[in-house]
Amino acid sequence: MKISIFLLPFSILYASSYPDFKNYEIAEIEENFGKIAKNRIVDYSKTLETLKKFPQDEQLLRVNFYLNQLPFKPDILNNNSSDYWGTPKEFLTCGYGDCEDYAIIKYFTLLKLGFEKEKLFITTSHEKYSNQAHMVLSYFKSKNEPPLILDSISYKVLNLGKRVDLEAKIFINEDGSYKIDDDNNLVKVGNAPEKFKELLKKVKLEG
């Protein structure tokens, strides 16, 4: 089944407050993880406020650049797991993440800035140069055009057609899992994976 994310009669903006840290949460984080963790969270909130004045194209660039400055650490070292999908609150609190953590926090950050959730997809891929599995965030800005890629290993936001190093596999959102055809249409291939469902449950519990 093919779907088009551009056939709605009007754009539906998904304004999300998450991740929103309450004052008591920030105080607890400072007590348990230190002042650096607290300052990182405060800086994230302030940065998002400044980004609201920019057009969406500029927001994409700035979000990608800003969040890519968080240090990388493999899941096995950070969470004692080979494939752990951390929430944005977990990522910002500990300060380290793996490729999926960058994709996830960018997804929720763009939702918080008012991007349409129907155009955002966490995307599994194969990074050809390293010959490793990789995860990025895809944003389908225009109909029949390759999605724009927000990637933890690139400060540039390029469309998928220009990412010769990247082979996109599965595009994931709340509605399911998709593949992309030659005309850049999404074709549903199944439900959202369990890890994504578990992630959404954790996000809901965090509030």
pLDDT for 76 beyond 90:
no
Q: Does residue 176 lie in a domain region? A: yes
- Candidates 50, 162, 171, 189; CA nearest to 120 is 171
Q: Does residue 107 lie in a domain region? A: yes
At 73 the pLDDT is: 82
C-alpha–C-alpha distance, residues 201 and 6, integer Å = 28
At 10 the pLDDT is: 33
**What sections of 52-95 are H helices per DSSP?**
56-68, 75-78, 88-94
pLDDT for 35 beyond 90:
yes
User: Which domain, by its residues, includes 152?
Assistant: 2-6+18-206
pLDDT in tens, 140-174: 999 889 999 999 999 999 999 999 999 999 999 99
pLDDT for 67 beyond 80:
yes
C-alpha–C-alpha distance, residues 151 and 137, integer Å = 7
Residue 109's domain is classified under what CATH number? 3.10.620.30
At 124 the pLDDT is: 97
- Residue 32 to residues 46, 73, 78, 93, 157: CA-CA distances in angstroms? 22, 20, 17, 10, 35
| Model confidence, pTM | 0.90
Q: Does residue 12 lie in a domain region? A: no
Instruction: Give the containing element (helix H, strand E) for 44.
Output: helix 35-51
Say how many domains are in the chain: 1
Q: Does residue 11 lie in a domain region? A: no
